[in-house]
Amino acid sequence: MLYLILKAAISGILIAIASTLAKRYPGFGALIASLPLVSVLGMIWLWHEKPDAENMAAHAGATFWYVLPSLPMFLLIPVLLRHGANFWVALALGCALTVLLYALMTWVGPRFGLTL
């Protein structure tokens, strides 16, 4: 249980740092937020719990393919906001687009030999 609390605390602190920096320096906050910190931390935690090279390779490979469908969200949200959309509406539409693209990736990926 202590290990779970430690993982959550470290992950939460990194998110808090990124959001705090973004208030004053939006570009720098975006840079921090764009770093694959969640993926790297996830790999560290996974390796600590199950040091299996093949499992880690499969995880890292699948992570790459799942990052791709999330990228359009970061284009849609600013476009909507700049055209007057409410933040929550823009965020919801961006998330909905991402969920749709994740579903598409999960459906299409295996047809092209991707193990997700």
Whole-structure pTM value: 0.76
CB within 8 A of 67, min separation 6: which ones? Answer: 36, 39
Query: What are the pLDDT digits (tens) for 76-102?
Result: 999 999 999 999 999 999 999 999 999
pLDDT of residue 115: 81
pLDDT of residue 107: 94
Domain ranges of the chain: 1-51, 52-116
Indicate if the alpha-carbon torsion angle 78, 23, 36, 100 is positive or negative: negative
